[in-house]
Structure 1
């Protein structure tokens, strides 16, 4: 498999993962706004299924990224400072992903204490992190 195929698969799974990462907190916004138990129960199902659906994409993004770095080698990794910055942001995305699972479980127990505004911020802030990753990967500024 050529490096371009690996990169294509890495980007594909990253896009699929990010689609879910951006949508799940939007579900939290709507969930936090409703007072009807039947609607809350429907959101619980949607949130859990979405998180479980996107988690393999997160893992495949990681696997293909690690393979790519391995193939480029340690010498490349040492001189490519931009990748270190990217990896820090990527690590934060995985922490964010795990935090979303925590929130799925909080909502499942009807124990949410955050406002819809909190979830709006949680929904929109990762866009800037993704922009930083894309800029680092494409521009390789340092």
Structure 2
């Protein structure tokens, strides 16, 4: 079993200060950009949105795959402890920030680009709500794994891994084809 922490408390504190500083800088830049509304803003926000969505989707595909292997690992063993660290870092460092950026920038783009009109946009938003619900489900499952209380088999996790794929397909169809427009 792992007896040492991967990072010390002081390193964690430094990382926290850097993260809060970065968040403050991004918020300040966002307010300035919103205030001045330069012509290039919409295009760059679309880029940011696509990067955030890709990052979030990678996590939504990878975390259930980690759960497949974690479910087969011996509880309390070194591999199980390693999976806990991997799962927590994936959730906290990649998935949660990417989800938040996807939502905030996506809603801003929808509001400024479409005025939230069109059935296709509401179906897309419903698909993203489904992805968010799945994200919350995975977060809770990661906590259960960390406590040694997983209740699903590796096979069930393999099947759960298909949920974000189906939702992603719905969202992409709504964005590219725009049926019901």
Q: TM-score, normalised by structure 2?
A: 0.73
User: Does 1:124 pair with 2:162?
Assistant: yes
Shift of 1:101: 0.7
Mapping of 1:1-142 within 5 angstroms? 1-35=40-74, 37-53=77-93, 54-72=95-113, 74=115, 77-78=116-117, 80-142=118-180
Structure with bigger RCO (C-alpha 8 Å, 6+ apart) = 1
Could you tell me how far apart the structure 1 residues matched to 2:127 and 2:170 are? 8
What's the offset of the Cα at 1:71?
1.1
Question: How far apart in 2 are the matches of 1:73 and 1:141?
Answer: 15
In 2: Cα distance, 1:73 partner to 1:39 partner: 48
Please identify the structure whose Cα radius of gyration is greater. 2
Aligned length, in residue pairs: 139
**Number of the residue aligned with 2:5:** none
CA displacement, residues 51-92 of structure 1 (integer Å, 9 cap, x when unaligned): 112210110011111111221253xx23x1100111111011
Unaligned runs of 5+ in 1: none
What is the TM-score with the length of structure 1 in the denominator? 0.92
Moved runs in structure 1, 4+ residues, more than 3 A?
none
Shift in Å at residue 125 of structure 1? 2.3
